[in-house]
Amino acid sequence: MTFPQIRSIEELLLSKQHGLACDLDETCCDTVFYWITKMQKIFGNPENLVAEKMVEKYQYVQNVPYWQTPEAEAWVKEALVSNELQVELPQIKEAKYFLKEISKIIPINCYLTVRPESIVRGTRKWLIKHDFPEAAIFAKPDDVLRTDGNRWKADILRNAYPYILGIIDDNQGLLQELGPEYPGTLFLFGHRTVSSEYSRVIPCPDWKTVFQKVKNIIKYS
C-alpha cells in the first residue's frame, strides 16, 4: 500500500533502516493558514485582517477572541476529524521539493503526526495528491488526548531511536517533552533560534535550511 499506516513502534522498526521522521501540520501542510481562511469566511473577520496577519497575531484559531462561540467550536471539533478537509490543505512552500532531496540522503521512515488515526485516509490522499516521498504514516491513536499529543510523539521518538535518528517538526512544545537528554536530532522548522540547553535541536527558518543542515550532519556523521 502507498503510504501504509503503522500503529506501533514494532511495525516502525521492521524495516531496520535508519532514517528520519517528518511532521505534517505546519511543517508540510499550511494547516493553520487554511483554517483561519476558512473560518474568516464562515464566522467573520471584524478586524479585516488578511489571513497572514491573523496567523501572526493569534497563531491558532483557538486564540481568536471573536471565534470563541459554540458554533465555531463545533465546526473546529468536526474539522479535526474530517478526512475531506485534509485533502484541501495547502502545502508549505518548498516542503515537497526539499523533502524529496533529503530522502536521497537519508530515508524518511515515517510521517509522525499528532493527527488522529481516524483521518489517516485523508492524510494519505493529500500525500499522494501532492507527490510527497512515500513513507509510513504514524498517527496519534484516537484514544490519546490531543493535549497529550506531544508527549505521545516524544515517547515514539525516544523508543524508536536510533532507527529514527530525528524528526523535522515545527512544534517547540515537543522540546519540553523530549527533554535535553534526547539523543536524536530535532530539525525545528520555522524557527531561527532555540534555547541553548537543547544541543540536539537545530533551528531551521525554511526548508532550504532543513536540507542543508541534514546534509551537513549526514556528511560528517
- Which pLDDT tens digit goes with each residue over 127-178? 999 999 999 999 999 999 989 999 999 999 999 999 999 999 999 999 999 9
pLDDT band (50, 70, 90) for residue 49: very high
Nearest-CA neighbor of 174 among 193, 157, 196?
157
Question: What are the E-state strand segments in 122-162?
Answer: 136-140
Nearest-CA neighbor of 158 among 177, 172, 131?
177
How high is the mean pLDDT of the chain? 94
Instruction: Tell me the one-letter amino acid at 183.
Output: P
In this predicted structure, the answer to whether residue 211 has a pLDDT above a threshold of 80 is: yes
Instruction: Give the pLDDT confidence score for residue 110 in this predicted structure.
Output: 97
Instruction: Give the pLDDT confidence score for residue 219 in this predicted structure.
Output: 65
Instruction: Give the pLDDT confidence score for residue 15 in this predicted structure.
Output: 79
pLDDT band (50, 70, 90) for residue 221: low
Instruction: Give the pLDDT confidence score for residue 141 in this predicted structure.
Output: 96
In this predicted structure, the answer to whether residue 186 has a pLDDT above a threshold of 80 is: yes
